[in-house]
Amino acid sequence: MTQKDYTLAATIRVRYSETDQMGVVYYANYLDWFEVARTEFCRLSGIPYSKWEEDGLILPVVETHCRYKHPARYDDQIQLWCRITDVKIYSVTFEYRLLRASDYKLIAEGWTKHGCTNCEGRLYKKEHPFYNWLMSQEQSEQSGE
């Protein structure tokens, strides 16, 4: 897949508190940035997370992966790119690419897999209210629209 298959969800600036003793972004912060990308991607696509929760769909993270390519440092601006892949009735996967805005160097890439549950934490075993929307997002990403 190419960069054009992703949506620019947000741009953030690395805060000093996000760096470690070596002056680079602490590894766990990338997962926070994945969350920012995911929630902003959904908001930009017309269905913010708050709407999902109002309608009874909760998306707990059940699996994650992050590959660190180049270090991000204090005050870098980082572009957060996101797309939806692998939609099933009971789960959805979001993929991410994090680029340094100054030189478009790939900082990190990864994915999060989410269970599709109701408010009581039970997995959906049939189509939930947003299943068709998720499928349309996955298909538009695959077709390059």
Task: Give 97-128 pLDDT, tens digit per residue.
Answer: 999 999 999 999 999 999 999 889 998 877 77
Give tens-digit pLDDT for 1-60. 456 689 999 999 999 999 999 999 999 999 999 999 999 999 998 889 898 888 888 999
Q: Is 20 a catalytic residue?
A: yes
pLDDT of 12: 98
Q: Which is the catalytic residue, given 5, 20, 55, 103?
A: 20
Q: How does DSSP classify residue 67?
A: E
CATH number of 3-143: 3.10.129.10
For 105, the token pair is: 């160097």
Per-domain residue ranges of the chain = 3-143
On whether the CB atoms of residues 6 and 137 are closer than 8 A, the answer is no
One-letter identity of residue 102:
S
- Cα torsion for 11, 17, 21, 24, to the nearest 10°? 0
Predicted confidence (pLDDT) per residue in 51-92, tens digit: 888 888 899 999 999 999 999 999 999 999 999 998 888 899
Instruction: Label residues 1-22 b or e (16+ Cβ within 10 Å = b).
Output: eeeebbbbbbebebeeebbeee
